Amino acid sequence: MHSLEDYRHIVGEEVISSIYRKARALYGIKVININSTFYGGGVAEILNSLVPLMNDAGVEADWRILRGTTDFFDITKKFHNALQGDQINLTPIKQRLYTQASETFASYCHIDDDCVIIHDPQPLPLIKYFKKKQPWVWRCHVDLSDPNPTLWEYLKGFILRYDMVIISCPRYRREDLPVFQRVIYPAIDPLSPKNMDLTKATIAKYLKKFGIPTDKPIVSQVSRFDKWKEPDKVLDIFDMVRRKVDCRLVLCGSMATDDPEGQQVYERVRRKANTMIKSGDVILITSENNILVNALQRSSAVIIQKSSKEGFGLSVTEALWKGKPVVASNVGGIAHQIVDGESGFLLPPSDKQEFAKRIIEIIKDPKLGEKLGEKGRAHVRERFLITRLLSDHLDLLNDLMR
Ligand code: UDP
Span from the CA of 309 to the centroid of ligand 1 (angstroms): 14
Evaluate if residue 242 carries a pLDDT over 90: yes
Evaluate if residue 281 carries a pLDDT over 90: yes
- Work out the pLDDT band at 364, boundaries 50, 70, 90: very high
Task: Using most ligand atoms within 8 A of CB, pick from 224, 294, 312, 320 the residue to mutate for ligand 1.
Answer: 224
Atom of ligand 1 nearest to the CA of 188: 15
Rounded distance between C-alpha atoms, residue 81 and residue 62, angstroms? 29
Residues 6 or more apart whose CB falls under 8 angstroms from that of 192 comprise 45, 48, 49, 290
SS (H, E, C) the chain: CCCHHHHHHHHCHHHHHHHHHHHHHHCCCEEEEEECCCCCCHHHHHHHHHHHHHHHHCCEEEEEECCCCHHHHHHHHHHHHHHCCCCCCCCHHHHHHHHHHHHHHHHHCCCCCCEEEEECCCCCCHHHHCCCCCCEEEECCCCCCCCCHHHHHHHHHHHCCCCEEEECCHHHCCCCCCCCEEECCCCECCCCCCCCCCCHHHHHHHHHHCCCCCCCCEEEEECCCCHHHCHHHHHHHHHHHHCCCCCEEEEECCCCCCCCCHHHHHHHHHHHHHHHCCCCCEEEECCCCHHHHHHHHHHEEEEEECCCCCCCCHHHHHHHHCCCCEEEECCCCHHHHCCCCCCCEEECCCCHHHHHHHHHHHHHCHHHHHHHHHHHHHHHHHHCEHHHHHHHHHHHHHHHHC
Residue ranges per structural domain of the chain? 4-187+385-400, 200-383
pLDDT of residue 402: 85
Question: Same CATH topology for 4-187+385-400 and 200-383?
Answer: yes
CA 41 to chain centre: 5
Rounded distance between C-alpha atoms, residue 122 and residue 164, angstroms? 17
Atom of ligand 1 nearest to the CA of 287: 8
pLDDT above 90 as % of the chain: 94
Q: Which CATH architecture has domain 4-187+385-400?
A: 3-Layer(aba) Sandwich (3.40)
Evaluate if residue 45 carries a pLDDT over 80: yes
Span from the CA of 92 to the centroid of ligand 1 (angstroms): 32
- Work out the pLDDT band at 255, boundaries 50, 70, 90: confident
Span from the CA of 287 to the centroid of ligand 1 (angstroms): 12
Atom of ligand 1 nearest to the CA of 317: 20
Atom of ligand 1 nearest to the CA of 254: 8
Q: Which CATH architecture has domain 200-383?
A: 3-Layer(aba) Sandwich (3.40)
Evaluate if residue 18 carries a pLDDT over 90: yes
pLDDT of residue 360: 98
Q: Which residues does ligand 1 sit against, CB inside 6 Å?
A: 41-42, 45, 194, 222-224, 252-254, 290, 293, 311-315, 318
- Strand ranges of the sheet holding 282-285, from the earlier edge strand across to the other edge: 282-285, 248-252, 218-222, 300-305, 326-329, 345-347
Task: For residue 333, give the amino acid letter.
Answer: G
Span from the CA of 333 to the centroid of ligand 1 (angstroms): 14
pLDDT of residue 15: 97
Span from the CA of 225 to the centroid of ligand 1 (angstroms): 10
Atom of ligand 1 nearest to the CA of 305: 20
Span from the CA of 291 to the centroid of ligand 1 (angstroms): 13
Query: What mean pLDDT, rounded, does the chain reach?
Result: 96
Nearest CA to ligand 1 atom 6: 223
Atom of ligand 1 nearest to the CA of 316: 20
Q: Is the pTM of this model over 0.75?
A: yes
Q: Express each pLDDT in 124-173 by its tens digit.
A: 999 999 999 999 999 999 999 999 999 999 999 999 999 999 999 999 99
- Strand ranges of the sheet holding 30-35, from the earlier edge strand across to the other edge: 60-65, 30-35, 115-119, 136-139, 164-167, 181-183
Q: What's the burial of 24, exposed, middle or buried (CB within 10 Å: 0-12/13-18/19+)?
A: exposed
Q: Express each pLDDT in 183-235 by its tens digit.
A: 999 999 999 999 999 999 999 999 999 999 999 999 999 999 999 999 999 99
